[in-house]
Structure 1
Amino acid sequence: MGERAAAARGWAVLSAVVPALVLAATACGGGGGGGRSPAAPSPGSAGRPAEAAGPPVPTAERLEEAALRDGARIGGPGGTYEIGVPLLEGPSEDFLEYRADRAVCQPLVSLARGATGEDPAAEVNREAVLGEGIGQRQVSVQLRSYGSGGAARVLAALREAGTACAGGFVEERGVAEARYRSVEPLEAPDLGDEAVAYRLRIEDVKDRELVLTEYLTVVRSGATTLSFRLEAFSLDDPGGVPRELVAAQWDAFTRAGAGPGA
């Protein structure tokens, strides 16, 4: 499913567990990776239309070969993530109702088919999960291929959104609204032709005093984007998309022949 589809589950979990956290506190007395700036593509990609002169657009089958293996375990300083395949491969009707109140901000909400005007030709999804319950962290991983320069336009749209929507915006979810307080650019991974990374601060849909922190990293290689959205089901800042997870997906992508020089 699209990367924002999991958010509904996260907000539901948060709404259920926050009262318990507050009671417990009362009883007790109470980046995304090293590399170049997200503001510019890599030197090797400057001035060249990588997609126009590159290989054919990867098919869904090719992206499936390049995706992280179902059941794989990827560890790092923060713990071990287990890779799984989402039950739903496509965005649900409810998910497609998730819209930014300003069109320029929509790429920060989702890049899935039907969510923006730039539809991918093919898309493959994975979920990386760490922990359970209130302490759970989940990273939605998408590999998407585009034709006719679409992937480069997606990165350009993300950069525009990061600037235009830095002060926040509203995500409309049918009968509810989620308010983004801020969109902060981070140092992006030094991978592919270009990459961007952001920290997103989002208010709970029921209690605006409760704020979650999410992270979004997107890497472009030719006609393909690799997207990582980290969601934490607690009020703690999860500290960015794990570098080990990004590196593992990039390695799988290049080993499958879907990356540079494919």
Structure 2
Amino acid sequence: MASSKSSQTTRNVVIACLAVWSIISLIIIVVWATSPQMKGISHCRQELQALNEKHEGAKVIWNEDRQALEALVRQGWDNQTRLQAQVDAHREKLAQLNVTLDECHQENALLSANITTLENEIEAHKATEANLTAHISLQKEEIEWLHSNLTGKLHELESCEALRSAAVSMQKAAEKTTAACQTSKQYLHTQLTRCQNEALKEDSNHQQQQSPGNSAPMAAHGTPLIMALSLLPALLLALAS
């Protein structure tokens, strides 16, 4: 708009200058034509012709200048139209940029809210991590305590296993001793039975052959046998125990 106004003003100034110059030329021609004392008619005609030629030349120049100015004005209008189109395009781009900027502001606000939420979640995760670390420390202490107890229990188990092995060995030895004692018991029981039978037989024989003269020797002879028979049950009980 400013370029078009300046071009139109320039054109008006040039046209006004040409009009003033034409009027001044006509006044000079009239003055020269009305003053015969200063110049002759022929000379005035020559000057008038020269002035007419100059005037025609000025008119041609003025027409050329006018056409050039009109061309400049048309070019100015074309430039103005093109510039206006560019301005409109830039306005549209600016409007789009403003919309994009508003969207960016909204996105930045949303991102700021998300960042705040994430920071809060990070703080919560840090607190959870601290709690888990403390819990893990307690669990490690408990694991160490359980490991210590397990080690003690393993030692106790090994001791019990050793005691069990010793008890098994002692049981086997006792079983063997019991078997030997049972064998000895059976042997002694057999011997006792046989001795009792022999003693009964001898007692019956001696009772049948007993007489008043030999009673003392028979008593002396039966005393060791009676003592042996009395010691056999004690020996059997000792072997059984």
TM-score tier (shorter): under 0.3
Higher helix share: 2
Q: Give 1 or 2 for the bigger CA radius of gyration.
A: 2
Give the structure-2-normalised TM-score.
0.17
How high is the TM-score relative to the length of structure 1?
0.16
